[in-house]
Structure 1
Amino acid sequence: MRRLSSATLDALPDDVIRPAYDRAAVRAGVVHLGIGAFHRAHQAAVFDDVLNAGDLRWGIVAASLRSPRVRDQMAPQDGLYTMLVRDGSSERARIIGAVQRVIVAPEEPLALLDALASPHTHIVTLTITEKGYKLDPATGELIEHDPQLAADLASLTRPQTAPGYLVAALAKRKALGLPPFTAISCDNLPHNGRRLRNAVLALAHRHDAPLAEWIAEEGAFPETMVDRIVPATTAEDVAALAARLDVADHAMVKTEPFTQWVIEDRFCGPRPEFGAGVQLTAAVAPWEEAKLRLLNGAHSGIAYLGGLAGIEHVHEVLALPAARAFVEALWDEAQTTLSPPPELNIALYRRELMARFDNPTLRHRTRQIAMDGSQKLPQRLLAPIAARLATGKGIKALSLAVAAWLRWQAGQDDLGNAHDVDDPLAGMIAARLKGAGTTEERVAAILRVDAVVPPALAENGAFRMALTRWLAMLETQGALATLASFQGEI
């Protein structure tokens, strides 16, 4: 079967939305680090909107910092791919043309540096996951023993990390007399702009103090909040789309109608006139906090409890009345720790979230959400737990979600099926838990992982008791019975 490409665009069905601009006339004003499904369904679609509106300065050069997989999917398709927007029984197909080139950084490091240092590049966006910033979650300092970061600390001739590429490119721009670019983290991290800035400045200081000062004075690292559910694409998805389009698209993504990008209005150079779905604001933190503690916090609880019960998809978990009651209770707890902006109606937001979780066409897998839990729990669940304990409030639902994460570390669900614990700290956590023979010892072991649990929270007796109680119930009765017991108590 023919592949999706510039040559096959005209052969697509009439209901498929195509780029309304001349792709040959587009300049690359954006470099994106960490191209994956989320970027293709979120930021790339935003810049595609800008191109469709007639501003052709905002094409994208994208880079994979590790695998050639996405490059190999997109290069035969001239960078084109389909974004399927699914809601219930409806499905809308749109071809995104914003990505002009995909670079595999380990294969072409100098090409990526050239793109970052191009005078046309004004914005750099990143979706590199929490672990890509090479910062210790507990201290915020560079993880100097990380092999890739250690290499970048020694030399930036051929960078290996995202901070390394940014520092090397900014040094090149400074030498060429070019201004810095605006660097925008699009990862689900609290204060993501500050973290990115800290990583870049710390690495720059180790190489060139005047460069670090120039970046600090002239550069910009806006805080952002991104929101769109983008489940992993399956082989069945690719086959179904090929049958519909009569061309094969190996880079397709599927997503929901909802999309949101809140950006701190702090740029150091040109920016596009963003359209619908993008909100510029003076303060991102309240939006970010609400999203992390409501959407992402609930997602983590659903993923671990549903995964332990052997349930594959989010909407299937929410079909259980006890799971639904758990999510509402978690939101009741987390909501009290928020300071939402006036524009954010929390009651409406919760209803919208539940509707999004219920969308059966997304087929969002619990195991996909369960990845990298050690990096996600501090901001999603542990922060609201600490806030509630500080004011004497209960943590029943939030602590159950954390206990489910701890139970997940055993690598086996309630049905006896093994699963990979896909997490950068999996080995260390497994070693800590190996010698823990009782529930109390397992809780004590996890509380000593200060890269995940803040020391002050680890010393809190109420948290320890709640975690021990729920973990014991999960270990002896399983997730479904534990959820039923939880529902009976609220």
Structure 2
Amino acid sequence: MKLNKQTLAQASKQATLPTYDRTALLPGIVHLGLGAFHRAHQAVYTDTVLAEGDLRWGIVGVSLRSPDTRDALAPQDNLYTLGIRGEGEQLRIIGSIIDTLVAPESPATVLAAMSHPHCHIVSLTVTEKGYCHDPATNTLRFDHPDIAHDLAHTDAPRSAIGFIVRALEKRRDAGLPPFTVLSCDNLPSNGNTSRALVLAFAERIDTELSKWISQHGAFPNSMVDRIVPKTTDEDRTAITARLTVDDAWPVVTEPFSQWVIEDRFAGPRPAWEQAGATMVDEAEPYEHAKLRMLNGSHSSLAYLGSLAGYVTVDQAIRDDGLRGFIERMMTEEIAPTLQRPGLDDYRDELVARFRNPALKHRLQQIAMDGSQKLPQRLLGTIRARLDAGLPCERLCFAVAGWMRYLRAEDEAGRAYPISDPLADTLQAAAGITDISQRVDALLAIEAVFGNDLAMRIEFVSVVKGFLRRIEEEGVLQALGKIDAKNVHDFLSSPTKNV
């Protein structure tokens, strides 16, 4: 039997079920980027709000590329299982998604949902690359193929930005207020960034539209935090076995979940605080801490752990050398750049979450799209340290690890793919034999490093030295020596030419 509204009674033997009338839900939220993270995070908070009796907030999920999610969820009446894994596993059927659309199949249907009077919020989890922007400057790339297409074909957008602007235009022309644009992606000041990109696009097609959005729209910043690995066939088999009904598209996650949202909306909103979200005036302290502590450490662990041959986060963090490196990087280099209270406890909590063996969070999943992630996860912290005249050796070591990772094979010679929108450019630079020239070529990619870091000799020389050491000695041996002796002496001591 397949999971759907007819088989919920069977599933209830092992899982918590929705307690509200799903047939009465209104389509109050359109969500762009219907991936696993949204279904394990925002959709769960909204499910709780619906259970409290406010039925205005059904979610219309939109896949901007692949039909896979729609094809799996539609036969299940858009129901799916959330598996929360810690010491045991709790199962919960989520019912907040009421429809799933595939944008390339019918852009008009998506625009109709976004411009419907019931829609008050358009939220996004489209990943960093989905914003079609330059991550080093946070400016819209008008030469991006999707943006160029959307400027020429306003009735059939491809990009999230194109859909948002065209839908807002339809609302203005119909005399409707704008919806709130709620970014839930790991971008610095994600609401401010979304606003700037939307206004830049709107300005190109209609100056008055841009002014209307600026005056009446809302783009609150938010911070989302929950570890959500990619669902595997093993996960599907295990959850189906427990439910005794077939769920083609479950998601698995950890017990921890956090959502911090600036309380600045253009219209009504769900009472997400009743579901555990934190409504604030200013999200930046939480956002910086999460991007730099969790995401920065996650990316560092992904690149260094992959080189050492580890497959999952919990395997890598159980290596004493890697764990010590990550803990000291957070304590000595990242935390001093932040203002959020309780950072020591936050660090310890993160390490404990990384050690969760039930998630099996693959390092390669975190390593994807490094060119889009490094600017906010590592390079922003590096700039802050350099500007303050402070050392940032471990952060530089992580950048050097990424540069070595781009060779597409670990230290045992096992190959892996480089999944990145700039993969060709990155791998061409990473293939340069001379290490100094290789680093220079990578630093010259302004979309990643901007036009300033290549000029910071104190940064460039340390990255070159660490990359040379990683190539010569291996990542674990090299990082073990950072604390063993003065870094300057370590980098200037003789090594063989690489």
* Band of TM-score, shorter chain: over 0.9
Matches within 5 A, 1:48-447: 48-88=47-87, 90-274=88-272, 275-332=274-331, 333-340=333-340, 344-434=341-431, 436-447=432-443
Q: Deviations over 1:147-196 (max 9, x none)?
A: 21111111201111111111111111111111000000000000111111
Taking the aligned partners of 2:363 and 2:309, their CA distance within structure 1 comes to 9
CA distance in 1, matches of 2:430, 2:301: 23
Distance (whole Å) between structure 1 residues aligned to residue 474 and residue 68 of structure 2: 38
Q: Indicate yes or no: 2:481 matched with 1:485.
A: yes
Rounded Cα–Cα distance in structure 2 between residues aligned with 1:240 and 1:447: 45
Q: Which amino acid aligns with 1:86?
A: R
Please give the per-residue CA displacement for 1:300-343, whole angstroms capped at 9, x wherever unaligned: 11000111111001111111111111011110211111122xxx
Determine the C-alpha separation between the residues in 2 that align with 1:460 and 1:298.
23
- AA paired with 2:219? F
| Amino acid of the structure 1 residue aligned with 2:437 | E
Paired residue secondary structure (2:19)? coil
Aligned partners of 1:335, 1:139: CA distance in 2, in Å? 24
8 Å CA contact 2:191–2:220 kept in 1: the answer is yes
By how many angstroms is 1:113 displaced? 0.5
Deviation at 1:487, TM superposition (A): 4.8
Indicate the residue corresponding to 1:3 in structure 2.
2
**Does the aligned pair in 1 maintain the 2:203–2:210 contact within 8 Å?**
yes
Following superposition, the deviation at residue 276 of structure 1 comes to: 3.7
Matched, 1:16 2:15: yes
2 CA distance for matches of 1:388 and 1:76? 52
Compute the TM-score of the two structures, normalised by the length of structure 2: 0.95
In structure 2, what residue type is equivalent to 1:377? Answer: L
Preserved contact between residue 182 and residue 220 of structure 2 (Cα < 8 Å): yes
In 2, the alpha carbon distance for the partners of 1:58 and 1:94 equals: 19
Whether contact under 8 Å (1:65, 1:105) holds in the other structure is yes
Question: In 2, are the aligned partners of 1:322 and 1:487 still within 8 Å (CA)?
Answer: no
C-alpha displacement of 1:409? 0.7
Distance (whole Å) between structure 1 residues aligned to residue 140 and residue 301 of structure 2? 32
Corresponding residue number in structure 1 for 2:495: none
Q: 2:490 is matched with which residue?
A: none
Q: Secondary structure at the match of 2:448?
A: coil
Alignment RMSD (CA, Å): 1.2
SS, match of residue 124 in structure 1 = strand
Further displaced range: 310-319 or 456-465? 456-465
1:474 is aligned to 470
Contact 2:13 2:243 in 1 (8 A): no
Q: 2: CA distance between counterparts of 1:363 and 1:156?
A: 42
Quote the residue 1:41 is aligned against: 40
Tell me the distance in 1 between the aligned counterparts of 2:434 and 2:358: 41
Give the counterpart letter for 2:469 in structure 1.
Answer: M
1:55-86: CA deviations, max 9, x gaps?
00011000000000111110111000000001
Q: How far apart in 1 are the matches of 2:377 and 2:79?
A: 34
**Does structure 1 residue 449 correspond to structure 2 residue 448?**
no
Tell me, which stretches of 5 or more residues in structure 2 are unaligned?
487-498
Q: CA deviation at 1:38?
A: 0.2
- C-alpha distance in structure 2 between counterparts of 1:139 and 1:378, whole Å: 9
Q: 1:479 to 1:277 in 2, by over 3 A?
A: farther
Deviations 1:70-123 (A, max 9, x none): 1111011100000000112x1100000000111000001111001000100001
The 8 Å contact of residues 117 and 173 in structure 1, kept in 2 or not, is answered as: yes
One-letter amino acid matched to 2:25: V
Residues 325, 487 of structure 1: 8 Å contact kept: no
2:137–2:450 Cα contact (<8 Å) kept: no
> How far has the Cα of 1:205 moved from its partner?
1.1
Measured against aligned partners, the alpha-carbon deviations of 1:325-364 in whole angstroms (never above 9, x if no partner) come to 1011110211111122xxx411111111111111110111
| More divergent stretch after superposition (93-102 vs 153-162) | 153-162
Q: 4+ residue stretches of structure 1 with deviation over 6 A?
A: none
SS in 1 for 2:361: coil
Instruction: Name the SS of the counterpart of 1:452 in structure 2.
Output: helix
Q: Partners of 1:346 and 1:330 in 2: how far apart?
A: 13
Q: CA deviation at 1:250?
A: 1.2
> Aligned equivalents of 1:54 and 1:276: distance in 2?
12
User: Could you tell me the percent identity over the aligned residues?
Assistant: 49
User: Which range moved further: 215-224 or 470-479?
Assistant: 470-479
Query: 2: distance between equivalents of 1:482 and 1:52?
Result: 53
Partner of 2:493: none
What SS class does the counterpart of residue 114 from structure 1 fall into? Answer: helix
Instruction: Look up the SS of the partner of 1:316 in the other structure.
Output: helix
Q: Distance in 1 between matches of 2:317 and 2:482?
A: 15
Measure the CA separation in 2 of the matches of 1:120 and 1:347.
44
CA offsets 1:427-484 (integer angstroms, 9 cap, x no match): 11222334x3211111111111111113222211111111011111211222222233
